[in-house]
A = this chain, B = another copy of it.
Amino acid sequence: MMLELIFMSSVLALLFAGYLARSVNSREQGTERMREIARAIQEGSMAFLSREYRTLSVFVLVIALILGLLFGLYVSASYMVGSIVSALAGYIGMRIATNSNVRAANAARTSFSGALKIAFSGGSVMGFVVVGLGLAGLLGIFTLLYSATPDTEILIAYGFGASSIALFLRVGGGIFTKSADVGADLVGKVEKGIPEDDPRNPATIADNVGDNVGDIAGMGSDLFESYVSAILASMILGVLVFGQAGLIFPMLLAGAGIIASMIGSLFVRPSGEPGSFQEETESARNALNRGVIVSNVLMVIAAYFVTMYVLDDLGVFLALVSGLVAGFLIGKTTEYYTSDRRGPVQGIVKSSQTGPATNIIEGLSVGMMSTVIPVVLVSLATLVSYHYAGLFGIAIASVGMLANLGILLSIDCYGPIVDNAAGIAEMAGLGKDVRKKAEALDSVGNTTAAIGKGFAISSAALSALAWLAAYFAIARLDVINITDPNVMVGLMIGSMLAFLFSALTMRAVSAGAFEIIGEVRRQFREIKGIMSGKARPDYARCVDIATRSAIRQMIVPGIVVIAVPVILGLTLGAASVGGLLAGALMTGFLMAIMMANAGGAWDNAKKYIEAGNLGGKGSEVHKAAVIGDTVGDPFKDTSGPSLNILIKLIGKVALMFAAFFAVAAAV
Residues on A facing B (Cβ under 8 Å): 186, 190, 351, 354-358, 360-362, 364-369, 371-372, 375-376, 378-379, 382-383, 386, 391, 394, 465, 469, 472, 477-483, 485-489, 491-493, 495-496, 499-500, 502-504, 506-507, 509-510, 578-579, 582-583, 586-587, 589-590, 594, 627, 630-631, 634
Contact = CB atoms under 8 A, between A and B. Distances in A.
B358 A356 contact: no
B582 A488 contact: yes
Contact of A491 (B376, B486, B509, B582): B582
A510 B486 CA distance: 41
A177 B394 CA distance: 46
A662 B364 CA distance: 38
B482 A582 contact: yes
A483 B478 contact: yes
Contacts of A356: 356, 627
Given A485-B386, A583-B586, A500 B357 contact: no
Contacts of A586: 491-492, 495, 583, 587
Nearest to A583: B586
Contact of A382 (B364, B376, B477, B485): B485
Q: Which 4 A-B pairs have the closest CB atoms?
A: A357-B630, A368-B503, A480-B482, A386-B485
Contact of A362 (B186, B366, B510, B583): B510
Contacts of A472: 483
Contacts of A499: 368-369, 371-372, 590, 594
Given A481-B480, A587-B586, A375 B503 contact: no
A468 B383 CA distance: 24
Contacts of A362: 507, 510
Interface hub of A481, A483, A500 (most chain B Cβ within 10 A)? A483
Contacts of A358: 510, 630
Contacts of A465: 488
A369 B578 CA distance: 23
Given A481-B481, A491-B582, A499-B590, 11 more contacts: A357-B631, A366-B503, A371-B499, A372-B496, A375-B492, A375-B496, A382-B488, A383-B489, A478-B483, A479-B479, A627-B627
19 contacts: A190-B355, A355-B630, A358-B630, A361-B506, A366-B503, A367-B503, A368-B499, A372-B499, A375-B495, A376-B493, A383-B485, A383-B489, A386-B485, A465-B488, A480-B481, A480-B482, A495-B586, A496-B590, A583-B586
B351 A492 contact: no
B365 A492 contact: no
A379 B486 CA distance: 9
A492 B357 contact: no
Contacts of A190: 355
A364 B362 CA distance: 15
B582 A371 contact: no
Interface hub of A386, A482, A587 (most chain B Cβ within 10 A)? A482
A479 B485 contact: no
A391 B488 CA distance: 12
A468 to B, nearest CB: 8
B354 A492 contact: no
Contact of A495 (B369, B478, B487, B587): B587
Contacts of A510: 351, 358, 361-362, 365
A502 to B, nearest CB: 5
A354 B517 CA distance: 11
A337 B80 CA distance: 43
A657 B274 CA distance: 62
Given A372-B500, A506-B364, A482 B488 contact: no
A371 B482 contact: no
Contacts of A354: 186
Nearest to A394: B485
A412 to B, nearest CB: 26
B369 A492 contact: no
Contact of A477 (B366, B483, B485, B507): B483
Contacts of A379: 489, 492-493
B480 A360 contact: no
Contacts of A489: 379, 382-383
B582 A368 contact: no
A89 B500 CA distance: 39
Contacts of A383: 485-486, 489
Contacts of A368: 499-500, 502-503, 506
B371 A500 contact: yes
B478 A480 contact: no
Given A594-B499, A627-B356, A493 B375 contact: yes
Contacts of A365: 502-503, 506-507, 510
Nearest to A575: B482
A483 B483 contact: no
A594 to B, nearest CB: 6
Contacts of A367: 503
A470 B154 CA distance: 43
